[in-house]
């Protein structure tokens, strides 16, 4: 019986000691002094680096399309709508065609000259990015990465729609 009692005492002391070690470890890792207690060699809290959340550089553009213009006013030729995004952003483009004709939305390469009138499929190498056709009464969502900083012309590539249907994409 004395062997069991000695072992029992040894087990009790071991469990209490282990509980204290775990408690101290928790306090250092999650207690109020966590920031001061855990620092890397560079002086940056290691715990804080584990808490960083990934960031996304995403921008949403909502574009209304009508039979002869983008946006709210039929003045694309003289006052085209302007959409602004940061360079390199993930752009989520929501297009809604409220007109009766098919349309699209295409970014012209910086510095390129668009022939007037633009014929569908004509000189398509001057386009940087284009969304497929958006048919009457439908919506579509497309994504792309914003190009380098600058100003880009946006056109509808359906035959005869440019220059009446145009906008500006400003990339900062």
What's the DSSP call for residue 170?
E
**Dihedral sign of CA atoms 34, 35, 37, 42 in order:** positive
Closest C-alpha to 161, from 81, 66, 84: 66
Confidence of residue 170 (pLDDT cuts 50, 70, 90): very high
Mean local confidence (pLDDT), 125-136 = 91
Among the residue ranges 51-60, 82-91, 105-114, the one predicted with the least confidence is 51-60
Q: What is the pLDDT of residue 117?
A: 80
The pLDDT of 120-139, averaged and rounded, is 87
Do 145 and 92 form a contact (C-beta atoms < 8 A)? no
Q: Are 136 and 101 in contact (CB under 8 A)?
A: yes
Q: What's the average model confidence in pLDDT over 110-121?
A: 85
pLDDT of residue 37: 43
Tell me the CATH architecture of domain 58-171: Sandwich (2.60)
**Domain coordinates in residue numbering, the chain:** 2-51, 58-171
Between residues 13 and 108, the one the model is more confident about: 108
Mean pLDDT of 11-39: 62
Q: What is the CA radius of gyration of the chain?
A: 31
Per-residue confidence at 134, pLDDT binned at 50, 70, 90? Answer: very high
The closest alpha carbon to 171, from 150, 153, 154, 155, belongs to 150
* 102 neighbors 135 (Cβ within 8 angstroms): yes
123: left (phi over 0), alpha (psi -120 to 50) or beta: left
Percent of the chain with pLDDT over 70: 72
60's tokens: 């949403």
- Answer whether 105's CB lies under 8 Å from 131's CB: yes
Burial classification of residue 95, based on how many CB atoms lie within 10 Å of its CB (0-12 exposed, 13-18 middle, 19 or more buried)? buried
| Structural tokens at position 78 | 């003289």
Rounded to an integer, what distance in angstroms lies between the CA atom of residue 139 and that of residue 96?
A: 4
Work out the angle at residue 61's Cα, subtended by the Cα atoms of residues 55 and 64, and round it to the nearest 5 degrees. 165
Q: What is the pLDDT of residue 16?
A: 78
Read off the pLDDT of residues 41-62 as tens digits, 9 standing for 90 and up.
455 554 555 555 555 688 999 9
pLDDT bucket at 156, cuts 50 / 70 / 90: very high
3-state SS, residue 83: strand
């Amino acid at each position: 019986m004395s062997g069991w009692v000695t072992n029992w005492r040894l087990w009790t002391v071991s469990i209490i000691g282990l509980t204290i070690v775990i408690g101290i470890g928790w306090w250092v890792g999650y207690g109020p002094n966590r920031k001061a207690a855990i620092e890397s060699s560079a002086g940056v809290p290691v715990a804080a680096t584990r808490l960083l959340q990934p960031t996304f550089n995403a921008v949403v553009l909502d574009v209304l399309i009508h039979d002869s213009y983008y946006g709210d006013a039929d003045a694309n030729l003289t006052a085209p709508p302007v959409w602004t995004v940061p360079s390199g952003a993930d752009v989520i483009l929501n297009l809604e065609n409220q007109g009766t004709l098919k349309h699209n939305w295409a970014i012209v390469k910086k510095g390129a000259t668009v022939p007037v009138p633009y014929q569908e499929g004509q000189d398509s190498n001057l386009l940087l990015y284009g969304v497929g056709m958006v048919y009457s009464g439908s919506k579509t969502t497309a994504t792309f990465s914003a190009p380098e900083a600058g100003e880009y012309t946006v056109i509808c590539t359906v035959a005869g729609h440019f220059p009446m249907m145009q906008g500006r994409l400003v990339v900062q």
